[in-house]
Structure 1
Amino acid sequence: MARKTIEQRLAELDAQRATLKARLGKQERANDTRRKVLLGALVLHRLEHGRDEISRALPDWLRRELPGFLTRDGDKELFDDLLAAPAAGGDGRPAS
Protein backbone atom coordinates (compact mmCIF):
# COMPACT_ATOMS: atom_id res chain seq x y z
CA MET A 1 0.00 0.00 0.00
CA ALA A 2 1.35 3.37 -0.98
CA ARG A 3 2.26 5.69 1.81
CA LYS A 4 0.23 8.95 1.96
CA THR A 5 2.07 12.13 1.28
CA ILE A 6 2.31 14.81 3.91
CA GLU A 7 -0.03 16.96 1.82
CA GLN A 8 -2.64 14.19 1.75
CA ARG A 9 -2.38 13.67 5.48
CA LEU A 10 -2.72 17.41 6.10
CA ALA A 11 -5.78 17.55 3.84
CA GLU A 12 -7.38 14.68 5.79
CA LEU A 13 -6.62 16.41 9.09
CA ASP A 14 -8.12 19.66 7.77
CA ALA A 15 -11.27 17.79 6.75
CA GLN A 16 -11.48 16.15 10.18
CA ARG A 17 -10.98 19.52 11.86
CA ALA A 18 -13.76 21.09 9.78
CA THR A 19 -16.10 18.21 10.65
CA LEU A 20 -15.33 18.52 14.37
CA LYS A 21 -15.80 22.31 14.29
CA ALA A 22 -19.19 21.85 12.62
CA ARG A 23 -20.17 19.26 15.23
CA LEU A 24 -19.06 21.60 18.04
CA GLY A 25 -21.08 24.47 16.56
CA LYS A 26 -24.15 22.27 16.34
CA GLN A 27 -23.73 21.18 19.97
CA GLU A 28 -23.28 24.78 21.12
CA ARG A 29 -26.47 25.84 19.30
CA ALA A 30 -28.36 22.91 20.84
CA ASN A 31 -27.11 23.86 24.32
CA ASP A 32 -28.10 27.49 23.75
CA THR A 33 -31.59 26.45 22.68
CA ARG A 34 -31.96 24.14 25.68
CA ARG A 35 -30.89 26.93 28.07
CA LYS A 36 -33.49 29.27 26.55
CA VAL A 37 -36.24 26.67 26.79
CA LEU A 38 -35.42 25.87 30.42
CA LEU A 39 -35.17 29.54 31.39
CA GLY A 40 -38.49 30.22 29.68
CA ALA A 41 -40.05 27.28 31.50
CA LEU A 42 -38.83 28.70 34.81
CA VAL A 43 -40.28 32.13 34.04
CA LEU A 44 -43.63 30.64 33.03
CA HIS A 45 -43.66 28.46 36.14
CA ARG A 46 -42.99 31.49 38.35
CA LEU A 47 -45.75 33.44 36.57
CA GLU A 48 -48.24 30.66 37.23
CA HIS A 49 -47.18 29.40 40.64
CA GLY A 50 -44.73 31.81 42.24
CA ARG A 51 -45.82 33.58 45.39
CA ASP A 52 -42.70 35.54 46.30
CA GLU A 53 -41.95 39.20 45.63
CA ILE A 54 -39.99 38.53 42.43
CA SER A 55 -42.79 36.40 40.98
CA ARG A 56 -45.35 39.12 41.77
CA ALA A 57 -43.20 41.76 40.03
CA LEU A 58 -42.49 39.57 36.99
CA PRO A 59 -45.69 40.32 35.00
CA ASP A 60 -45.12 44.08 35.20
CA TRP A 61 -41.47 43.69 34.20
CA LEU A 62 -42.43 41.53 31.22
CA ARG A 63 -45.05 44.06 30.11
CA ARG A 64 -42.32 46.73 30.14
CA GLU A 65 -39.54 44.70 28.52
CA LEU A 66 -41.15 42.33 26.03
CA PRO A 67 -42.59 44.91 23.59
CA GLY A 68 -39.12 46.30 22.91
CA PHE A 69 -37.55 42.84 22.70
CA LEU A 70 -40.06 41.17 20.39
CA THR A 71 -39.79 42.30 16.77
CA ARG A 72 -42.03 39.90 14.85
CA ASP A 73 -45.80 40.24 14.94
CA GLY A 74 -46.17 36.48 15.31
CA ASP A 75 -43.89 36.52 18.35
CA LYS A 76 -45.87 39.36 19.90
CA GLU A 77 -49.09 37.40 19.40
CA LEU A 78 -47.62 34.52 21.39
CA PHE A 79 -47.35 36.83 24.38
CA ASP A 80 -50.69 38.67 24.06
CA ASP A 81 -51.84 37.24 27.39
CA LEU A 82 -48.72 38.52 29.19
CA LEU A 83 -48.69 41.91 27.48
CA ALA A 84 -52.33 42.72 28.19
CA ALA A 85 -52.93 45.11 31.07
CA PRO A 86 -54.01 43.28 34.23
CA ALA A 87 -57.71 43.25 35.03
CA ALA A 88 -58.79 45.63 37.79
CA GLY A 89 -58.33 43.91 41.11
CA GLY A 90 -56.34 41.10 39.47
CA ASP A 91 -52.95 39.94 40.63
CA GLY A 92 -51.23 40.52 37.28
CA ARG A 93 -50.93 36.83 36.55
CA PRO A 94 -52.07 35.34 33.26
CA ALA A 95 -55.18 33.19 33.45
CA SER A 96 -54.37 29.49 33.90
Structure 2
Amino acid sequence: MARKTIEERLAQLEAQKKTLQARLNKQERARDTRRKVLLGALVLHRLEHGKDELSRALPDWLRRELPGFLTRDMDKELFDDLLAPDGDAARRTESGE
Protein backbone atom coordinates (compact mmCIF):
# COMPACT_ATOMS: atom_id res chain seq x y z
CA MET A 1 0.00 0.00 0.00
CA ALA A 2 1.43 3.33 -1.03
CA ARG A 3 1.84 6.03 1.58
CA LYS A 4 0.01 9.27 1.08
CA THR A 5 2.05 12.35 0.50
CA ILE A 6 2.00 15.16 3.00
CA GLU A 7 -0.03 17.22 0.54
CA GLU A 8 -2.61 14.45 0.20
CA ARG A 9 -2.87 14.07 3.96
CA LEU A 10 -3.25 17.84 4.39
CA ALA A 11 -5.99 17.89 1.74
CA GLN A 12 -7.78 15.03 3.50
CA LEU A 13 -7.53 16.84 6.85
CA GLU A 14 -8.81 20.06 5.27
CA ALA A 15 -11.81 18.18 3.85
CA GLN A 16 -12.50 16.68 7.29
CA LYS A 17 -12.23 20.14 8.85
CA LYS A 18 -14.75 21.55 6.37
CA THR A 19 -17.15 18.68 7.05
CA LEU A 20 -16.87 19.15 10.81
CA GLN A 21 -17.27 22.93 10.51
CA ALA A 22 -20.42 22.45 8.44
CA ARG A 23 -21.80 20.08 11.09
CA LEU A 24 -20.97 22.56 13.86
CA ASN A 25 -22.65 25.41 11.94
CA LYS A 26 -25.77 23.26 11.50
CA GLN A 27 -25.86 22.50 15.23
CA GLU A 28 -25.47 26.20 16.08
CA ARG A 29 -28.30 27.18 13.70
CA ALA A 30 -30.54 24.49 15.20
CA ARG A 31 -29.74 25.72 18.72
CA ASP A 32 -30.44 29.32 17.71
CA THR A 33 -33.76 28.33 16.13
CA ARG A 34 -34.76 26.37 19.24
CA ARG A 35 -33.98 29.36 21.47
CA LYS A 36 -36.10 31.64 19.27
CA VAL A 37 -39.02 29.22 19.28
CA LEU A 38 -38.92 28.85 23.06
CA LEU A 39 -38.60 32.59 23.61
CA GLY A 40 -41.51 33.20 21.25
CA ALA A 41 -43.57 30.58 23.08
CA LEU A 42 -42.87 32.35 26.36
CA VAL A 43 -43.94 35.72 24.94
CA LEU A 44 -47.14 34.25 23.48
CA HIS A 45 -47.90 32.49 26.77
CA ARG A 46 -47.45 35.74 28.68
CA LEU A 47 -49.71 37.55 26.18
CA GLU A 48 -52.45 34.96 26.63
CA HIS A 49 -52.16 34.11 30.33
CA GLY A 50 -49.96 36.68 32.06
CA LYS A 51 -51.56 38.73 34.80
CA ASP A 52 -48.56 40.69 36.06
CA GLU A 53 -47.52 44.22 35.12
CA LEU A 54 -44.97 43.08 32.52
CA SER A 55 -47.54 40.92 30.75
CA ARG A 56 -50.02 43.80 30.64
CA ALA A 57 -47.37 46.12 29.15
CA LEU A 58 -46.21 43.56 26.59
CA PRO A 59 -48.86 44.22 23.88
CA ASP A 60 -48.08 47.95 23.83
CA TRP A 61 -44.35 47.26 23.64
CA LEU A 62 -44.87 44.81 20.76
CA ARG A 63 -47.03 47.34 18.88
CA ARG A 64 -44.16 49.84 19.20
CA GLU A 65 -41.29 47.49 18.39
CA LEU A 66 -42.57 44.93 15.88
CA PRO A 67 -43.30 47.29 12.96
CA GLY A 68 -39.66 48.40 12.88
CA PHE A 69 -38.38 44.85 13.30
CA LEU A 70 -40.55 43.12 10.71
CA THR A 71 -39.62 43.97 7.14
CA ARG A 72 -41.61 41.53 4.99
CA ASP A 73 -45.35 41.92 4.48
CA MET A 74 -45.92 38.21 5.02
CA ASP A 75 -44.21 38.46 8.42
CA LYS A 76 -46.29 41.48 9.36
CA GLU A 77 -49.46 39.57 8.48
CA LEU A 78 -48.53 36.92 11.04
CA PHE A 79 -48.78 39.56 13.74
CA ASP A 80 -51.85 41.46 12.54
CA ASP A 81 -53.69 40.57 15.75
CA LEU A 82 -50.88 42.01 17.89
CA LEU A 83 -50.24 45.10 15.81
CA ALA A 84 -53.85 46.25 15.59
CA PRO A 85 -55.20 48.72 18.13
CA ASP A 86 -56.84 46.91 21.07
CA GLY A 87 -60.40 47.31 19.83
CA ASP A 88 -59.64 46.07 16.33
CA ALA A 89 -57.90 42.94 17.60
CA ALA A 90 -60.76 42.14 19.95
CA ARG A 91 -63.36 42.61 17.19
CA ARG A 92 -61.41 40.37 14.79
CA THR A 93 -61.11 37.65 17.44
CA GLU A 94 -64.83 37.81 18.22
CA SER A 95 -65.87 37.77 14.58
CA GLY A 96 -63.50 34.89 13.77
CA GLU A 97 -61.32 36.80 11.32
TM value normalised by structure 1: 0.89
Matching of residue 68 in structure 1 with residue 68 in structure 2: yes
How much has 1:53 moved relative to structure 2?
0.6
Q: Distance in 1 between matches of 2:59 and 2:40?
A: 13
Q: What residue is the counterpart of 1:44 in the other structure?
A: 44
Report the count of equivalent residues: 92
Letter in 1 for 2:23: R
Output one character per residue of 1:27-71: Cα deviation in whole Å (capped at 9) or x when no partner. 111111111111000000000001111000000000000011111
% same residue: 80
Q: Distance in 2 between matches of 1:8 and 1:75?
A: 49
Q: Distance in 1 between matches of 2:87 and 2:10?
A: 67
TM value normalised by structure 2: 0.88
Structure 1: gaps (5+ residues)? none
Q: Distance in 2 between matches of 1:6 and 1:66?
A: 55
Q: What residue is the counterpart of 2:30 in the other structure?
A: 30
Structure scoring higher RCO (CA < 8 A, sep ≥ 6) equals 1
Greater helix share, structure number: 2
Q: What residue is the counterpart of 1:80 in the other structure?
A: 80
Letter in 1 for 2:39: L
Q: Distance in 2 between matches of 1:67 and 1:11?
A: 49
The alignment yields a C-alpha RMSD, in angstroms, of: 2.0
How much has 1:87 moved relative to structure 2?
2.1
Structure 2: gaps (5+ residues)? none
